[in-house]
């Protein structure tokens, strides 16, 4: 078995003196807390949370009733807090819509 010193790539030599022994911080403490406590969701993740199709989420954003941001690639991104606030504000309407859809899918009860 070859020794670690015989390996063709010496990992220690790839680190510059400025980075040797410490890691560069990619984000601030506030950014880290924000990312962990209020993550950014994709369109599909938001649709899954709202139990609707992605086209409905697009419609909500186009009407301005669901806040969103745009990524560098111009894709919609949603903060978890915004989606939860939307769900709470529209809870009654969403429940009514789901009950209507359920009754339509269930169809007429032929046993009565």
- CATH number, residue 77: 1.10.1660.10
Instruction: Give residue-wise pLDDT tens across range 49-89.
Output: 998 999 999 999 999 999 999 999 999 999 999 999 999 98
Q: How many domains, the chain?
A: 1
pTM above 0.75, yes or no: no
More confident: 101 or 62: 62
- Domain residue limits at 96: 28-104
24-37 burial code (b ≥16 CB/10 A, e <16): eeeeeeeeeeeeee
> Is 18 inside any structural domain?
no
Q: And the tokens for 66?
A: 């669901």
> Is 6 inside any structural domain?
no
> Is 55 inside any structural domain?
yes
Mean pLDDT of 14-22: 57
> Is 9 inside any structural domain?
no
Per-residue confidence at 91, pLDDT binned at 50, 70, 90? confident
> Is 54 inside any structural domain?
yes
């Amino acid at each position: 078995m070859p020794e670690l010193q015989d390996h063709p790539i010496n990992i220690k030599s790839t680190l510059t003196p400025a980075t040797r022994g410490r890691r560069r911080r990619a984000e601030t403490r506030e950014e880290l807390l924000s990312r962990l406590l209020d993550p950014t969701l994709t369109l599909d993740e938001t649709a899954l949370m709202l139990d609707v199709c992605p086209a409905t989420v697009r419609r909500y954003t186009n009407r301005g009733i669901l806040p969103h941001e745009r990524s560098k690639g111009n894709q919609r991104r949603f903060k978890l807090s915004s989606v939860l606030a939307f769900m709470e504000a529209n809870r009654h309407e969403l429940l009514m819509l789901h009950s209507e859809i359920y009754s339509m899918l269930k169809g007429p009860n032929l046993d009565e």
